[in-house]
Amino acid sequence: MKRARLIYNPTSGREQIRKNLAYILERLEKAGYETSAHATTGEGSAKEAARKAAENGYELVVAAGGDGTIFEVVNGLAELKDRPKLGLIPAGTTNDFARALHIPRDIEKACDVLCGEHYEPIDIGKVDDRYFINIAAGGTLTELTYEVPSKLKTAVGQLAYYIKGLEKLPQITPRMVRIEYDGKLFEGEIMMFLVSNTNSVGGFEKLAPDASIQDGMFDFIVVKKLSFPEFLHLCTLALRGEHIHHPKVMYVHANRIKVEVQGDMQLNLDGEHGGALPAEFVNLYQHFEMLTPKERKQRR
């Protein structure tokens, strides 16, 4: 009998998974899985549980929570030679990864996907010995994702990021960088950079409009030095996906990117703090098999 391990964050988003746990387990059982569940307890818990699930021979690991939970699950499994297949029930505040894969927010519909037996290969990003699914980013603004308090997120959801973002904007300062990407070189002052694996970042679905999760390439966006009003204007363009044509924006596809910086620049991996630069990002081509909606391809 095939076995599934549900790894869920009871505190994610509006605590939806905790309230629907029995329903999710029942759906997986009905789909023919012998199922067990692990409730995460804090940082590192989902990662450890995922690794143990793989060691114990589970064929499917389902991450139920926000991007932080799937991030940890992927980090627990990515190093392994025999990796279980992945499923996802989105229950966080932004759910960028689920959005990119068209996995519905509605728990019933997300369970339909889990039980649908439709798998697709997906790329993930590697930076040094860590992995990411959506995005690695550098620059002051990118720090806001982990500065938004959990209580505020539960109360006002997505809005919490924008409140914090407005507070942060005036603090952005440019940094001198040296970037090598697939044999090419960029040197100059930048405000921030984004190494994106999916087309949905921070709730903006048009931030990396061409990103495919199956092509072995990142969408790499560099925002060069800008004035504060120019930066605000760029943010409004980003809502429509028009920022990539801005003269101060570099937008390319690359498989391998190395960023060195003068002074301090912190890294953000899928919304969590990822240490300081320098760093080298590598796209791992089709590293996981993931349960996705059958109609995903047609909708793209």
Ligand X SMILES: Nc1ncnc2c1ncn2[C@@H]1O[C@H](COP(=O)(O)OP(=O)(O)OP(=O)(O)O)[C@@H](O)[C@H]1O
Q: Which residues sit at the interface with ligand X, rule CB under 6 A?
A: 9-13, 40-43, 45, 65-69, 92-95, 153, 271
C-beta of residue 61 within 8 angstroms of C-beta of residue 87? yes
- Pick the closer one to ligand X by CB: 273 or 296: 273
- Shortest reach from residue 170's CB to ligand X, in Å: 24
* Of 204, 215, 297, 286, the residue nearest 253 (C-alpha): 215
Closer residue to ligand X in complex, CB, 65/139 = 65
Min dist. Cβ of residue 96 to ligand X (A): 7
- CA neighbours within 13 Å on the CB side: how many for 241? 10
Shortest distance (Å) from residue 92 CB to ligand X = 3
Q: 120, 272, 289, 295: which is the annotated catalytic residue? A: 272
**Which is nearer to ligand X, 13 or 261 (by Cβ)?**
13
196/77 Cα distance (integer angstroms)? 20
Min dist CB 194 to ligand X, Å, is: 17
Residue 107: partners with Cβ closer than 8 Å, 6 or more residues away: 16, 17, 20, 23, 24, 89, 91
Rounded CA-CA distance 158/92 in Å is: 10
Q: Of the two residues 73 and 254, which places its CB atom closer to ligand X in the complex?
A: 73
Spatial distance between the Cα atoms of 169 and 120, rounded to a whole number of angstroms: 38
Is 272 a residue of the active site?
yes
Residues noted as catalytic: 272
